[in-house]
Structure 1
Amino acid sequence: MDWSAIFFQGWADIGRTLVVGVLAYVTLVVFLRISGKRTLAKLNAFDLVVTVALGSILASILLTEAVSLSEGATALAVLIGLQALVTFVSVRSAGFADLVRSEPSLLVHQGKYSMGTMKQERITRDEVLSAIRSSGGHDVTDAQTVVLESDGSLSVSLDGSGDSKSAGP
């Protein structure tokens, strides 16, 4: 076995990775700028899948000689174009939006846990309490509502304050 090939296969491969890497990165940034802020917004489940797929395509362009820059750029454009189409249709059709996005879930109402919803969403009491503390409360009884948003963040409305704050996903 040629152990040197594991660590270094030649300057041509390094050069290709550098040139194609820079060009693919610039292409991805241009496509993301063209597609708008929505592509880079807080991620819901659908957006996360698209983002992971974009990363996978970029890695393939960089590391697989069988994938040319033009093929990779086409794949990036198709994926970003499909995401734009899905979001365009989602804004205009509530039924379609329900298919591709999750709805927010009420985890706490008037200082009481909604255990069924928490179990369904796989959220623990500790996670809810952490969000309440991050918003300035101390206990579940301090919260009017805690909502699991479609992007995975927890929004907390403290009892009597009318303030609503958001804790990270």
Structure 2
Amino acid sequence: MFDLQAAWWELPLRALIVYATLLVFVRVSGRRTVGQFTPFDLLVVMLLSESVSEGLSGGEKSVTGGLLSALTLIILNMAVAFFTSRSKGVQGLVEGNAALIGKDGRLFHEVLRRERVPLSDVEQALREADCDLSQMKKAFLEADGKISILQKAEGVQ
């Protein structure tokens, strides 16, 4: 039950490879995938987890192996959090940056398409901000997938 079937260093190496690869996949998939889970997105996350589980464990069935893999993932997550909190460059690489999707009452449809943001999501964000398109000063797609609306000052058109 506690005896490892593989070399002790193999499990942390597997965890590092899987963690780094999935981090790249999630970043490439776009902000909206990470920021707002639809049932489809949740299904993808669950299937991703299942698809990499064997690669993560390498067939290891011991409690020690499972704990070693889990510890490696926790340490990797703490390291990423540490470096992203201390470096804007690393933060931008890992988490992304806000994208300007509209300005002065005009939406940038090419940016919306590139970021895969439906117009209905922008309209919803405008309603939530109690803002008409003509009152919008700027609209941003945040790194976490949310849409932020800045309104023009009162009396400014």
Query: What TM-score, normalized to structure 2?
Result: 0.56
Change (3 A) 1:56 1:69: farther
The correspondence for 2:125, drawn from 119, 123, 131, is 131
SS of 2:71's equivalent?
helix
How many residues align? The count is: 107
Structure of higher RCO (CA pairs closer than 8 Å, 6+ residues apart) = 2
Residues 106 and 133 of structure 2 are in contact (CA less than 8 Å); yes or no, is this contact kept in structure 1? yes
Q: Which structure 2 residues correspond to residues 66-85 of structure 1 after superposition, within 5 A?
A: 67-85=61-79
Q: Which structure 2 residues correspond to residues 89-168 of structure 1 after superposition, within 5 A?
A: 89-137=83-131, 139-160=132-153
Matched residues in 1 for 2:60 and 2:76: separation? 24
Matched residues in 2 for 1:82 and 1:90: separation? 12
Aligned to 1:88: 82
Whichever residue aligns with residue 111 of structure 2, its letter is: T
| Structure 2, unaligned runs of 5 or more | 1-25, 28-33, 35-44, 54-58
**C-alpha distance after superposition, 1:32-67 (max 9, x if no partner):** xxxxxxxxxxxxx56x6xxx58x938xx6xxxx963
Change (3 A) 1:115 1:56: closer
Whichever residue aligns with residue 147 of structure 2, its letter is: L
Larger Rg: 1
Change (3 A) 1:88 1:142: same
Change (3 A) 1:101 1:123: same
Matched residues in 2 for 1:56 and 1:124: separation? 27
Whichever residue aligns with residue 141 of structure 2, its letter is: L
Matched residues in 2 for 1:56 and 1:117: separation? 31
Matched residues in 1 for 2:136 and 2:76: separation? 40
Matched residues in 2 for 1:56 and 1:67: separation? 17
Matched residues in 2 for 1:124 and 1:74: separation? 42
Whichever residue aligns with residue 125 of structure 2, its letter is: A
| Structure 1, unaligned runs of 5 or more | 1-44, 162-169
Matched residues in 2 for 1:74 and 1:56: separation? 17
